């Protein structure tokens, strides 16, 4: 290992999807924040890159050691600390995943709703500003992290809202918590996160509904939100995605734009939510309703959505997948989805679409043969066109996956050079030797 930032990982093309393996030189498994701090001090002294590692479920290559260095695997710090039932908060160490937390909370009547799909670690979800299907109702990690314990590049330990603090709101100084949320390991190692919890809803109802067009599905979504229905999930699948799900799970949904819905609340409030939503979707020519109330039927209904990634992969056995992640204002969704589907057809690409339509965020699951360089290039060009299409419509190149390795050039286009300079200034202040997860984000 040599001095900082001297070994760029030369095998990495710009904007790649399948980072060739970039292993670190060393992996450490600290068991406490004191050990993390002591190890960081050693790295700092010797100018070694530090790569934080939670579960490795991120989608943008955030854990690749592109400049070598020391991987900090935080899985051995896995305690759930301080559940405060009356205050709706909990503090967890970085080895705790969202499923482990919710299982731990089972008897408290509380849960943590942010659900990016993978069973990611909660500190990793904070680091990447994760969200997922429940964000339309419960917000993203940005809205649900109350405090972080962070080890900076030089080993300094800070608490972003002050040690042990967990108020539901604060105006005390700069919002350091949300500076580290979404910083993708480039500003510090998150060793503890304090999260907001929610009461487990009394009841849930799920539904699936088919539409004649993307526009009709999006119009329904806007009207449901406008009507004040506190919908918990509202997910869009395009015809190609539904077709893939049908094949993968032997289902028979109509091959058309489809919404998967979920409602949380009391029995009475669900009744009303369902009535209003049904009325709105019918007015927009929604049809072939499927409703599910008990847990088992709900599970079966949503299985199609949950398995979307695997259903897409199964379209072309032996292929690999990369997910795009643009997000636009709701009113621009029909246009961008229609144009994107035309682009896919024109360029002979497999990219079924699934999206968190209530947030304006959707994914094309690009299935491709990683050994077919021509196809990989076409996917890369498509991905950049899609991102620029989103940027032209007031959108972002990443709604929830982060910038990682592949979207740095797009981030510059999105933010403008002056805002990038501000970000670089913040990075240089907190990590002047550029040791924290180098090569990512900026």
Q: According to CB under 8 A, which one of 139, 307, 347, 381 is a site residue for its own copies?
A: 139
Q: Does 167 bind its own copies (CB under 8 A)?
A: yes
Provide φ and ψ at 76, rounded to 5°. -80, -10
226 vs 186: CA distance, rounded Å: 38
Provide φ and ψ at 83, rounded to 5°. -75, 120
Beta carbon nearer to its own copies, 199 or 299 = 199
Q: Which stretch binds its own copies (CB under 8 A): 18-26, 134-142, 234-242, 299-307?
A: 134-142
Q: Does 103 bind its own copies (CB under 8 A)?
A: no
Q: According to CB under 8 A, which one of 265, 286, 355, 439 is a site residue for its own copies?
A: 265
Q: According to CB under 8 A, which one of 250, 252, 373, 429 is a site residue for its own copies?
A: 429
Considering only residues 31-90, where is the footprint of its own copies by CB under 8 A?
Answer: 84, 86-89
Q: Does 359 bind its own copies (CB under 8 A)?
A: yes
Considering only residues 325-344, where is the footprint of its own copies by CB under 8 A?
Answer: 325, 327-331
Considering only residues 171-230, where is the footprint of its own copies by CB under 8 A?
Answer: 171-176, 178-179, 181-183, 187, 198-199, 201-202, 222, 225-228, 230
Beta carbon nearer to its own copies, 254 or 334 = 334
264 vs 245: CA distance, rounded Å: 25
Strand partners, 263: 205
Residues 6 or more apart whose CB falls under 8 angstroms from that of 403 comprise: 60, 184, 397, 410, 411, 440, 441
With CB under 8 A as the rule, give the number of residues binding its own copies.
Answer: 97
Query: Count of alpha carbons within 13 Å of 148, Cβ hemisphere only?
Result: 31
What would the two tokens of residue 248 be?
């993968």
Q: Would you call 206 helix, strand, or coil by DSSP?
A: strand
Q: Does 262 bind its own copies (CB under 8 A)?
A: no
Strand partners, 422: none
23 vs 198: CA distance, rounded Å: 39
Q: Does 403 bind its own copies (CB under 8 A)?
A: yes
User: Minimum Å distance from CB 125 to its own copies?
Assistant: 11
Q: Does 121 bind its own copies (CB under 8 A)?
A: no
Strand partners, 215: none
Q: Does 436 bind its own copies (CB under 8 A)?
A: no
- Tokens 């299907």 belong to residue: 133
Q: Does 268 bind its own copies (CB under 8 A)?
A: yes
Beta carbon nearer to its own copies, 68 or 132 = 132
Q: Does 122 bind its own copies (CB under 8 A)?
A: no
- For residues 207 and 330, the answer to whether their CB atoms sit within 8 Å is no
């Amino acid at each position: 290992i040599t001095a900082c930032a001297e070994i760029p990982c030369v095998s990495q093309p710009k904007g790649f999807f399948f980072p060739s393996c970039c292993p670190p030189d060393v992996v450490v498994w600290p068991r406490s924040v004191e050990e993390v701090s002591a190890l960081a001090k050693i790295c700092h002294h010797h100018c070694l890159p530090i790569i934080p590692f939670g579960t490795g479920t991120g989608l943008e290559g955030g854990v690749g050691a592109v400049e070598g260095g020391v991987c900090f695997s935080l899985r051995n710090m896995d305690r759930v600390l301080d559940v405060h039932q009356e205050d709706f908060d909990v503090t967890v160490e970085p080895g705790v995943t969202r499923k482990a937390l919710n299982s731990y909370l089972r008897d408290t009547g509380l849960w943590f709703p942010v659900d990016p799909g993978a069973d990611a670690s909660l500190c990793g979800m904070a680091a990447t500003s994760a969200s997922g299907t429940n964000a339309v109702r419960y917000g993203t990690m940005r809205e649900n992290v109350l405090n972080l314990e962070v080890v900076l590049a030089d080993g300094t330990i800070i608490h972003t809202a002050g040690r042990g603090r967990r108020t539901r709101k604060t105006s005390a100084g700069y919002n350091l918590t949300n500076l580290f949320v979404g910083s993708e390991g480039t500003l510090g190692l998150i060793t503890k996160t304090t999260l907001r919890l929610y009461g487990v809803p009394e009841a849930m109802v799920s539904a699936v509904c088919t539409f004649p067009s993307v526009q009709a599905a999006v119009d329904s979504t806007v009207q449901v939100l406008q009507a004040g229905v506190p919908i918990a999930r509202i997910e869009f699948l395009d015809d190609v995605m539904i077709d893939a799900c049908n094949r993968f799970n032997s289902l028979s949904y109509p091959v058309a734009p489809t919404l998967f819905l979920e409602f949380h609340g009391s029995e009475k409030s669900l009744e009303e939510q369902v009535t209003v939503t049904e009325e709105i979707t019918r007015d927009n020519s929604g049809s072939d309703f499927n409703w599910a109330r008990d847990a088992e039927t709900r599970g079966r209904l949503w299985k199609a959505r949950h398995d979307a990634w695997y259903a897409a992969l199964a379209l072309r056995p032996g292929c690999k997948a990369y997910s795009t992640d643009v997000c636009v204002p709701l009113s621009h969704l029909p246009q961008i989805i229609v144009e994107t589907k035309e682009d896919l057809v024109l360029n002979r690409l497999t990219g079924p679409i699934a999206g968190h339509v209530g947030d304006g965020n959707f994914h094309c699951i690009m299935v491709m043969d990683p050994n077919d360089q021509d196809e990989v290039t076409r996917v890369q060009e498509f991905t950049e066109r899609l991102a620029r299409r989103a940027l032209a419509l007031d959108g972002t190149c990443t709604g929830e996956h982060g910038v990682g390795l592949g979207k740095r050039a797009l981030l510059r286009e999105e933010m403008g050079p002056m805002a990038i300079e501000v970000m670089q200034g913040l990075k240089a202040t907190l990590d002047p030797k550029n040791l924290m997860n180098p090569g990512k984000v900026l």
